[in-house]
């Protein structure tokens, strides 16, 4: 017998999924698309900011510890740049050391949603970050570290923060701790939240109500939706049931296969229990030892007055920047940043199996993960980082991505990573379809999963990495028939 509470809960979840689907299929909300583009253009023209690289000795309120070489803020807050020693049981390189960002505090990434004229809208901010390649990006309502929102910097309060610090009286649609880049952050987590309000909300300068469909449409444009917005969007309780309730779909077209992939356990190759067991076995089977060490004890890295660089000139640099930005809580500051070498490649191989789209995920080890392994895209790398390694060290399936024919590419766009810590860190995000008979036998650390299985794992902490979450947001767009990127 089904309990009344269980029935009500399923009814609520279905109602939410329908409302999300309605918003995802709405391209003209409070602002029509052309006005939304014009608003973003005006914000870019009005935003006055300047970011310039400086020497480490020119950093304000940051210092280099004479005994360790670590870079840290005088408050002891925000983050520090330290060294990390790593030993792994598998992979082309078994031991190494590297600089890493240590930011132990948990920040808030939150999107406020509200029904306006019967359609869910998200309150988004046109926000400048020092690492953004093109200045302004569309970001969540709140995007703040604990140091920011506790005003360690003595700046202005973070707008709308109270909706996420005290959710009483509001409807919480998502609230989960998620990791960030495990190669650059040491055990970094942020609270990803979506909170629905029914009361009036004052829209202050630099913010606008945007439908989910508009966000997904803008996601296909060059470097416009920031990483924090993408990871929160991936946490939406998105489902095929919501889309299917609004229009009929069928046949063997690609969009229908994506929609079916959002349906609960619809034709998946592996049961949910098998997937969880595979992830657990991957975590148990990979011996990973990490230890924070003094930055000046990292091997293979050299320090100059302006950068800390790997001896091969691969991977990334640690740099320092000075920032002025009138729209931020603090109008001027300086800080260290990670500056990656080259444009990265982040891709899902996908294929239709019995009419249901499956994505090829990798149980990936990264030294900064809290729990050893998280599910990652099929390919996640900067190809030039492997130029100094033997050919068998190249990531699996990289050539499938690099050599994919144009008619197999379903999504292709350039997006950047978190501009508050990474300087012009851009990745090319791709979804590439392969034939039904291809890659049936995959390596032990790869599995074909449905999108539903991925989104179910995203509702829990430390299962799906930030790059894969961005690609899940792209798949949301494809399920609604929206464009597949700027190519």
Of 84, 77, 82, nearest to 369 (Cα)? 84
What would the DSSP string read from start to end of 239-305?
A: -HHHHHTTS---SS-HHHHHHHHTSTTSS-SS-HHHHHHHHHHHHHH--EEEEEE-GGG-SSEEE-S
Residue 145 annotated as lining a ligand binding site: yes
Residue 147 annotated as lining a ligand binding site: yes
Distance CA 306, CA 53 (A): 8
Residue 250 annotated as lining a ligand binding site: no
Residue 432 Cα distances to 223, 319, 360, angstroms:
20, 34, 10
Residue 397 annotated as lining a ligand binding site: no
Residue 328 annotated as lining a ligand binding site: no
Distance CA 163, CA 113 (A): 11
Residue 296 annotated as lining a ligand binding site: no
Residue 421 annotated as lining a ligand binding site: yes
Token pair for 51: 């970011």
Residue 382 annotated as lining a ligand binding site: yes
Token pair for 289: 């030892």
Residue 62 annotated as lining a ligand binding site: yes
Contacting residues for 4 by C-beta, under 8 A, at least 6 apart = none
Helix (H/G/I), strand (E/B), else coil: 464: strand
Residue 265 annotated as lining a ligand binding site: no
Residue 455 annotated as lining a ligand binding site: no
61 and 329 in contact (C-beta within 8 Å)?
Answer: no
Residue 386 annotated as lining a ligand binding site: yes
477 and 22 in contact (C-beta within 8 Å)?
Answer: no
User: Alpha-carbon torsion 280, 261, 347, 36, what sign?
Assistant: negative
Distance CA 404, CA 392 (A): 20
Residue 419 annotated as lining a ligand binding site: yes
Token pair for 32: 């029509």
What would the DSSP string read from start to end of 75-131?
A: TS-S-EEEEEEEEESSSS--EEEEEEEE--S-EEEEEEEEEETTEEEEEEEEEE-TT
149 and 159 in contact (C-beta within 8 Å)?
Answer: no
Residue list for the binding site for dTDP-4-dehydro-6-deoxy-alpha-D-glucose: 62, 145-149, 183, 228, 301, 364, 380-382, 385-386, 418-421
Residue list for the binding site: 62, 145-149, 183, 228, 301, 364, 380-382, 385-386, 418-421
């Amino acid at each position: 017998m089904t309990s009344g509470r269980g029935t009500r809960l399923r009814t609520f979840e279905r109602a939410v999924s329908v409302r999300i689907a309605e918003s995802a299929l709405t391209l003209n909300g409070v602002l029509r698309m052309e006005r939304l583009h014009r608003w973003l253009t005006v914000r870019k023209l009005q935003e006055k900011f300047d970011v310039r690289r400086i020497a480490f000795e020119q950093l304000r309120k940051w210092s280099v510890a004479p005994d360790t070489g670590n870079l840290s803020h005088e408050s002891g807050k925000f983050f520090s740049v330290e060294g990390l020693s790593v030993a792994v049981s598998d992979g082309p390189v078994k031991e190494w050391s590297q600089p890493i960002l240590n930011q132990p505090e948990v920040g808030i990434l939150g999107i406020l949603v509200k029904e306006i004229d019967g359609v869910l809208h998200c309150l988004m901010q046109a926000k400048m970050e020092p690492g953004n390649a093109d200045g302004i990006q569309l970001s969540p309502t709140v995007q703040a570290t604990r140091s920011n929102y506790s005003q360690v910097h003595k700046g202005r309060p973070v707008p709308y923060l109270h909706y996420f610090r005290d959710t009483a009286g509001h409807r919480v649609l998502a609230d989960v701790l998620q990791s960030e880049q495990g190669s650059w952050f040491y055990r970094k987590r942020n609270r990803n939240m979506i909170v629905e309000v029914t009361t009036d909300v004052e829209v202050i300068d630099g913010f606008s109500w945007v439908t989910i469909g508009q966000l997904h449409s803008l996601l296909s444009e060059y470097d416009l939706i920031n990483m924090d917005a993408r990871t929160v969007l991936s946490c939406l309780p998105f489902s095929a049931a919501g889309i299917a309730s609004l229009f009929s779909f069928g046949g063997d077209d690609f969009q229908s296969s994506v929609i079916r992939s959002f349906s609960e356990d619809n034709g998946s190759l592996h049961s949910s229990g098998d997937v969880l067991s595979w992830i657990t076995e991957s975590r148990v089977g990979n011996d990973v030892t990490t230890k924070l060490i003094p930055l000046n004890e990292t091997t293979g890295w050299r320090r100059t007055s302006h950068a800390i660089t790997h001896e091969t000139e691969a991977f990334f640099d640690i740099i320092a920047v000075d920032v002025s930005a009138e729209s931020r809580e603090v109008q001027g500051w300086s800080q260290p940043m990670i500056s990656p070498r080259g444009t990265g490649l982040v891709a899902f191989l996908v294929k239709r199996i019995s009419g249901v789209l499956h994505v090829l995920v990798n149980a990936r080890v990264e030294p900064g993960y809290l729990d050893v392994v998280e599910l990652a895209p099929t390919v996640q790398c900067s190809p030039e980082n492997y130029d100094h390694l033997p050919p068998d060290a190249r990531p699996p399936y990289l050539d499938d991505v690099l050599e994919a024919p144009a008619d197999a590419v379903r999504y292709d766009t350039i997006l950047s990573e978190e501009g508050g810590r990474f300087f012009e860190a851009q990745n090319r995000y791709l979804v590439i379809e392969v034939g039904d008979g291809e890659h049936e036998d995959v390596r032990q650390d790869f599995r074909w999963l449905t999108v539903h299985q991925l989104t179910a794992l995203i509702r829990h902490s430390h299962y799906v990495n930030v790059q894969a979450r961005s690609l899940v947001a792209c798949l949301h767009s494809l399920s609604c028939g929206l464009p597949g990127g700027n190519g």
